[in-house]
Amino acid sequence: MKNFNQTENSIHTVVSNKIRLSRRGFIVGSAAVAGGGLALGFNVPFGMDEAAAQAAGTEVNAWIVIKPDDTCTIRIARTEMGQGTRTGLAMLVAEELECDWKKVATEQVTAGTNLARKRVWGEMGTGGSRGIRTSHDYVRRGGAAARMMLMQAAADQWKVPVGELAVSNGIITHAASKRTTSYGKVAAAAAKLTAPDPKSITLKDAKDWKIAGKPTRRIDTADKLNGSKVFGVDVKLPGMLCAAIKECPVFGGKLTSFDDAKVAKMPGVRKVVKVGENAVAVVADKWWNAKAALDALPVVWNEANNGAQTSAAIAERLKEGLTAAQTNGTRQNGDAMKAIGEAAKKVEATYSTPFLAHATMEPMNCTARIGTDKAEVWLPTQNAEGALAALAEATGMPLEKCEVYMTDPGGGFGRRGRQDVVYQAAAIAKQFPGAPVKMIWSREEDQAHDFYRPISMFKGTAGLDANGNLVALHMRVSGQSINATLAPANIVDGKDLRQLQGLYEQPGDAQLGYTVPNLLIEYAMRNSHVPVGTWRGVNTNQNGVYMECFMDEVAKAAGKDPLEFRRALMSKHPKHLAVLNAAAEKGDWGKPLPAGVHRGIAQFMGYGSYSAATAEVSIDSKGKLKVHRMVLALNCGHAVNPDQIAAQVEGSVAYGLTATLYGEMTVDKGRIQELNFDSYEIMRLAEMPKVETVIVPTYDFWGGVGEPTICVVAPAVLNAIYAATGKPIRSLPLKNEKLVKA
């Protein structure tokens, strides 16, 4: 068995090599037979029978199923893990479909169905804030194509030119003859028509939107209010067993032995099984019984070479990287080193940020059932197709005989793009052929075996001229590479620019918003034995802190206002500047504050969107920090659901502030030390500042929403603390700092 470590590169290759997809395929879909043709394969794993599925309606095209009562079921391929993508995508489809929003339902596509239908729904992976921004075009085309077919069906029935028809809220009208019909009545006829030529489809301009662009309540809230929503941990299947698992706490270590006789007679225990080379699981009738036995199980680990690793030793390696001669990727213009040497004033500072765990509220889990002719998993995942490929690899079954039923994750934040749990659950379930086995990680296991936000350090050196203008900037990031863990093939000739996210010259995705005449930005790769991955906002988090906090230090050295100092560097980056200005204006920059309250500001870019924030903080006589108010401005291009954008911005503040205040994973004896919320503290409601979201969409691009704003949360707060104390914060989290009012 592989090391449970499917790389990002292999996620697509397995599935997409199988199917060569054409763009046309997305739009046209195959108009299926009315009724039962679509029964199998959608997320109906909890006992929906075929008859019920047949009553589900007519598939007009791959995206849309319409029932006789005019209910429109919109198929969603992306993962909904709280970020509102399901509602947003449905709004975009409904906008083009011209259906009645009150009659919209959604249905989750499964990875196996997508494969069987030649990936008609496109990519399912949901990370990098791309759920909407990379699929808006083809989902809207799906809605538009269905609308055209439905109207054509009505025109055919009435024998009038389709151009004489109008449609609104799913009601088709022929004004001249005063006839009306509804989508539900013509859906069956529409499904038999040939899909329109993609070239004939014109999508609406955002200014004509009636559903999209308006603050809209989520369509998936009801079952989150009464306990009826089925998460992965809640899956119940006939004859199901449960498994609790423990992997060697030292990364890279292996399982030597366990004494199963000691727990064999404990309540409910069925079997103790070795999982791969590095883990052991107890399988029992109930998860609690499995967990109790696992806790009592004597296990011997082979910690291999990593049992002596410590945070201090890792930090030393990163520190060395700050000044090492060789680097792993640079961006430069002018001659920064020379200009710094000649500068009237030099500013230098070193920063550091720790490993962080995702700590999704729902711990990692996977339910697997491996039969002789079928392998299935029920899985909260951000990458169902990657899971399908992993399941095929783990079981040796062909992809066509594998299926992944996606449950909505109880939080993802980048953690659930990994397939480690699929390999584990499949390895366990293989030992119980035909029986479903639900494997759930304990919180301790979840903390101990994350793909952590990488540890990194930064050294900044700035040169100012006699007038306090920034003439040179040298920035060096030293730290662990996400690609080294997840996608080694992306490191070419030792170069890995992924860790410089947000500092790029290239426009459009994660561009630095400043122009500096002499600029040198470098990355020095310093890896450890700790696996790292994508953590909400990924490298923009740390690079945002480094850039924006250092910028405040440089502004102070120049004797300038932090906002004015930034503005002077941003004339060639009007979109960055506009968002910074929006945050400054709504955040009352420059206006008086109550005594003891101080303000900070920051701007940065990631995931195709522009973000800026202001923060207002105070520090009491005991050094306790209070963040009173934050104003966050965001230009995400197209704003599909402003209320859910606000929800994501509010959420990014909580996630980002938790990291700022408390987040830190440390390593001793080769293993993670913070194994639960008593040591890995999470911010609570009482510490939540008042958050105001300012959406400034320019409608000339499509940017992300889930991640972009987190990168300005910490720097805005840290800069406000700097304003309050006069002392820059250069190391996170704040729990390790003593704050003293100036």
Partner 1 sequence: MAKLNINGKIRDVQAEPGTPLLWVLREWVGLTGTKYGCGIAQCGACSVHINGEVQRSCSIKLSEVKAADKIVTIEGLSPTSSHPVQKAWAVVDVPQCGYCQSGQIMAAAALLKKNPKPSDADIDAAMTNICRCGTYQRIRTAVHMAAGGAPNGNSSAIPSTGKKV
CA dihedral 622, 623, 627, 628 (to 10 degrees): 40
Q: Which of 654, 659, 667, 724 binds partner 1 (CB under 8 A)?
A: 654
CA angle (452 as vertex; 451, 455 as ends), nearest 5: 140
Give the E-state strand segments of 454-583 in sequence order: 456-464, 470-479, 518-525
For residue 8, the SS3 value is helix
Q: How far is the CB of 322 from partner 1 (least distance, A)?
A: 32
Answer yes or no whether residue 611 interacts with partner 1 by CB under 8 A. no
When the beta carbons of 163 and 227 are compared against partner 1, the nearer one is 227
Q: Which of 42, 121, 413, 514 binds partner 1 (CB under 8 A)?
A: 413
Q: How far is the CB of 626 from partner 1 (least distance, A)?
A: 12
Q: How far is the CB of 636 from partner 1 (least distance, A)?
A: 10
Q: Which structure tokens are listed for 44?
A: 């109906």
Closest CA to 9 of 419, 415, 412, 283: 419
Answer yes or no whether residue 106 interacts with partner 1 by CB under 8 A. no
Q: Which structure tokens are listed for 687?
A: 């510490």
Q: What are phi and psi of 108, to 5 degrees?
A: -90, 130
When the beta carbons of 500 and 696 are compared against partner 1, the nearer one is 696
When the beta carbons of 18 and 443 are compared against partner 1, the nearer one is 443
Q: Contacts with partner 1 in 278-307 (CB under 8 A)?
A: 286-289, 292
Q: Which of 331, 586, 626, 628 binds partner 1 (CB under 8 A)?
A: 586
Per CB under 8 A, the segment of 48-56, 160-168, 420-428, 440-448 that binds partner 1 is: 440-448
Answer yes or no whether residue 233 interacts with partner 1 by CB under 8 A. yes
Q: How far is the CB of 605 from partner 1 (least distance, A)?
A: 17
Q: How far is the CB of 575 from partner 1 (least distance, A)?
A: 11
Answer yes or no whether residue 626 interacts with partner 1 by CB under 8 A. no
Q: Contacts with partner 1 in 441-460 (CB under 8 A)?
A: 442-443
Q: How many residues bind partner 1 (CB under 8 A)?
A: 81
Answer yes or no whether residue 196 interacts with partner 1 by CB under 8 A. no
Q: Which of 107, 234, 277, 561 binds partner 1 (CB under 8 A)?
A: 234
Contact by Cβ (8 Å): 30, 117: yes
Q: Own/partner pairs for 67-71, CB < 8 Å, 24+ apart?
A: 67/184, 67/187, 68/184, 68/185, 68/187, 69/103, 69/184, 70/99, 70/100, 70/103, 70/170, 70/182, 70/183, 70/184, 71/103, 71/104, 71/105, 71/184
When the beta carbons of 307 and 642 are compared against partner 1, the nearer one is 642
Q: Are strands 625-635 and 690-695 parallel, antiparallel or unpaired?
A: parallel
Per CB under 8 A, the segment of 210-218, 271-279, 480-488, 492-500 that binds partner 1 is: 210-218
Answer yes or no whether residue 224 interacts with partner 1 by CB under 8 A. yes
When the beta carbons of 419 and 635 are compared against partner 1, the nearer one is 635
When the beta carbons of 81 and 275 are compared against partner 1, the nearer one is 81
Q: Contacts with partner 1 in 483-522 (CB under 8 A)?
A: none
CA angle (544 as vertex; 542, 547 as ends), nearest 5: 110
DSSP per-residue codes, 113-143 = HHHHTTTTT------TT-TTTTTHHHHHHHH
Answer yes or no whether residue 253 interacts with partner 1 by CB under 8 A. no
CA angle (203 as vertex; 56, 57 as ends), nearest 5: 5
Answer yes or no whether residue 588 interacts with partner 1 by CB under 8 A. no
For residue 262, the SS3 value is helix
Run of H or E residues at 187: helix 183-191
When the beta carbons of 519 and 653 are compared against partner 1, the nearer one is 653
Q: Which structure tokens are listed for 12?
A: 């697509």
Answer yes or no whether residue 629 interacts with partner 1 by CB under 8 A. no
Give the E-state strand segments of 570-698 in sequence order: 597-606, 609-619, 625-635, 667-668, 671-672, 690-695
Q: How far is the CB of 525 from partner 1 (least distance, A)?
A: 30
When the beta carbons of 463 and 704 are compared against partner 1, the nearer one is 704
Q: Contacts with partner 1 in 304-363 (CB under 8 A)?
A: 359-363
Per CB under 8 A, the segment of 11-19, 75-83, 324-332, 395-403 that binds partner 1 is: 75-83
For residue 250, the SS3 value is coil
Measured distance between the N- and C-terminal CA atoms of the chain, rounded to whole angstroms: 58
Answer yes or no whether residue 735 interacts with partner 1 by CB under 8 A. no
- How far is residue 535's CA from residue 354's CA, in Å, rounded to a whole number? 12
Per CB under 8 A, the segment of 158-166, 184-192, 461-469, 635-643 that binds partner 1 is: 635-643
